[in-house]
Amino acid sequence: MRPLALSEHRVLRLVVLCALYVAQGVPFGFLTVTLAAAMAASGAETEAIASVFALGTIPWAFKWVWGPFVDRFGNSRWGRRRPWILVAQAGMIGTLIAMAMMPDPVADLRTLGTLVVLHNIFNSLQDVCVDAMAIDLLPPEDRGKASGLMYGAKYGGTAIGGGGLSILAGLGGMPIAYVGMIAVIGGIALLPLLTVEKPGDLLFPWSTRAGGPRSGPPVDLPAAKVAGAAAHARSTATLLRDFAGAFTVPAAIATAVVALLATAASGLLSPIATNLFVGELGWSQEEYGAATGGAAVLAGLAGAVLGGFLADLVGPRRIFAICSLTLACLFGVFGLGDGFWNDRTLVWIYLIFESALAGCLNAAFFAICFGVCRPSIAATQFTAYMALMNLGVSGVYLLSGPLEIRFGVQGTYLIGALIQFSVVLLVPLTLVSGRKTKI
């Protein structure tokens, strides 16, 4: 029987792409909510939680390395991107099984950290491959809708990993949560396993072609290789030259600095908040997961969608500045308002507003990056900005513990407010002179 080809089935194509984005979001929610809460409940210090957060983020700061590698070795009888996605899925599931077999993750943070890094290396590989497959298979009229659905799917995966798995962990312990996550990602892996990208691709190594040849008539392979290598070398040199030239523009440099700082305050405060709520204020793992991995994630999704519309309506820089300034005030008020920390209702409201503002800020910043990127290298330049955002977050994770020891929870929240406020001052510098665009 001829396997289903994603290039021929629009709905199936969207389902597979969105499901793979869910698979990326589940481990992130699990790491930052479920596992973090379990570590805090077991007595782990903020520095230990922050270290695991950082280890989970660092591979994403260097995911741009995968792009040329996947493109260079991206042709096979089983499809251009599908084999890499299956390798990434297998690596993700394998590392999760290894984590599930650890008797006490908190007691062996070195092993846990190593597995977290390995897992996110495979996860970031999948992210690059799924984006590449979307570019290959999506027609222009579907790319906008698909991007929105895929972005929302990742939020949904984060809610499953944070809220859903926290509930499982509360009911049956962390081993049950690991089993739940392995089941979700394993189920999603069946979709690329049982479908192909284009007619003529092989489903399995032992399969035979049932849909005709995948490409045109045979070519002179040696001549094709020589011509392809020459074209690749020329295109690579041009790309590198254009990329270096793009960052001679002041607006591009300013945008890079903003990328490093845009979500740095949230990254700095996230491990501290986990330890504060679970370790000091006595929140249960289920309650923390429902708040930060459930309601807050949905608020972030709503904020991101609203931020995209507002950025088009009134300008991305205005929206980014307003969100950043409001978020700075929110951090400052929470830091100074320790008398209200035991009021669950007020804290839930704070977490929901923080996540909604962060989602809106991210959407606006993406729009800023789109406007700054040079058209000839837009994808490469945009990926560089996203990598810088991840690098900024992973860097400040390591500062959470030392700053909390030096300045306390309240003082660190005020530092976070200052960092977020400083971003507002840089926003006007990201405007490219002479380019007509909404501010």
pLDDT digits (tens, 9 = 90+) for 37-50: 888 877 777 778 88
Q: How far is the C-alpha of 387 from the C-alpha of 391, rounded, in Å?
A: 6
Q: How far is the C-alpha of 79 from the C-alpha of 329, rounded, in Å?
A: 50
Q: What is the pLDDT of residues 143-185, one digit of tens each?
A: 556 665 776 788 788 888 888 888 888 887 888 888 899 999 9
Sign of CA dihedral 426, 428, 433, 437: positive
Q: How far is the C-alpha of 37 from the C-alpha of 292, rounded, in Å?
A: 10
Matching residue, tokens 């396993």: 193
Reading the block at residue 207, the tokens are 């399969």
* 278, 37 contact by CB (below 8 A): yes
Q: What is the pLDDT of residues 382-421, one digit of tens each?
A: 777 878 888 888 788 888 888 988 999 999 999 999 999 9
Q: How far is the C-alpha of 415 from the C-alpha of 399, rounded, in Å?
A: 11
Q: Taking the CA of residue 363 as centre, how many other CA atoms within 13 Å lie in the half-sphere pointing to its CB? A: 28
Does the structure show a pLDDT above 80 at 263?
A: yes
Highest mean pLDDT among 68-72, 111-115, 140-144, 235-239: 111-115
Reading the block at residue 90, the tokens are 């297998």
Sign of CA dihedral 30, 33, 39, 42: negative
User: pLDDT class for 230, splitting at 50, 70, 90?
Assistant: very low
Q: What share of the chain is helix, strand, coil (3-state, %, to 5)?
A: 80, 0, 15
Q: Which residues of 40-73 are buried (b: 16+ CB within 10 A; e: fewer)?
A: bbeebbbbbbbbbbbbbbbbbbebeebbeebeee
Query: What residues form DSSP beta bridges with 4?
Result: 195
Mean of pLDDT over the chain? 80
**Which pLDDT score, from 0 to 100, does residue 239 have?**
63
Q: Whole-prediction pTM value?
A: 0.69
What domains can you pick out in the chain, each with its CATH number?
1-204 (1.20.1250.20), 225-431 (1.20.1250.20)
Highest mean pLDDT among 129-138, 190-199, 342-351, 368-377: 342-351
Does the structure show a pLDDT above 70 at 33?
A: yes
**Which pLDDT score, from 0 to 100, does residue 323 have?**
94
User: pLDDT class for 214, splitting at 50, 70, 90?
Assistant: very low
What is the average per-residue pLDDT within 294-301? 82
Does the structure show a pLDDT above 80 at 252?
A: yes
